[in-house]
Amino acid sequence: MSIDDPESDGRRQRTRRSREAMSDAAVELLLAHGLDGVTVEAVAERAGVTRRTFSRHFAGKEDAILAEFRENTARINDALRARPEAESPLLAYRAAVADWLAIEYTAADARLARHLELFRRVDGEPALFGAYQRIRVEAEAESVRVIAARLGVDPDHDPRPAVVVGAGAGTLVAALRAWARTGDPGALPALAERFFDALVGMLADPTGDVHPTSGNTRSTKVVNHP
């Protein structure tokens, strides 16, 4: 049967909808009742599936709650692969994050309030935070492989891909945590831009004093380069 067969495509769409329904149910239960109020049975019942179906898709309730986070990291890596080869690695990573935000998040997106509250819960719940960290580690390892391929190097011997991803991913997490503190669902794209501006500014002038002013970052020292 061809991969483009309508029957196969319909089956994939049903599987995707079922998975999304289970993830949505898990998040809704978390936000309504806390992590202790989320059970596999409750998620399956809310999503209209069997427990066996749930277990085919998710390793546990934390996995279901964080399914969209995992998908977002995959989308960032997809965007990273699609960036022009001429871009420097750090610029490519920053642009990939911007591409993801432009597609997935806008100020008018009704999902943002829920995503903001979910991230706040993850940051304060040890079991969810540990699961989130595992997702991050896996995603960053893939990002390192993508950057290494762009540079044509072996990441086991050349530290540059890991350094770029560590800096870029760390900056994104810092922006996400700042977003959680603001309580403003629509603030994420602007915050991500501001935090990446700060990173680039520090790399351009690592000896400069950087002070946030009016939502921007600026260096108070001017370095004369030969």
Confidence of residue 216 (pLDDT cuts 50, 70, 90): very low
Q: What is the mean pLDDT of residues 157-163?
A: 97
The strand pairing partners of 207, in sequence order, are none
What is the reported pLDDT for 8?
66
pLDDT in tens, 114-124: 888 998 998 88
pLDDT greater than 50 at residue 16: yes
Q: Is the model more confident about 216 or about 76?
A: 76
What is the reported pLDDT for 13?
83
pLDDT in tens, 71-115: 999 999 999 999 999 999 999 999 999 999 988 776 556 678 888
What is the reported pLDDT for 112?
80
In terms of C-beta density within 10 A (0-12 exposed, 13-18 middle, 19 or more buried), how is residue 221 classed? exposed
pLDDT greater than 70 at residue 211: no
Amino acid letter, residue 190:
A
Q: What is the mean pLDDT of residues 169-179?
A: 95
Length of the chain in terms of residues written: 226
What is the reported pLDDT for 224?
35
Q: Is the model more confident about 48 or about 211?
A: 48
What is the reported pLDDT for 53?
94
Confidence of residue 10 (pLDDT cuts 50, 70, 90): confident
Q: The whole model's pTM is what?
A: 0.82
Angle at which helices 126-151 and 89-104 cross, to 10°: 130
The strand pairing partners of 213, in sequence order, are 216
pLDDT greater than 50 at residue 50: yes
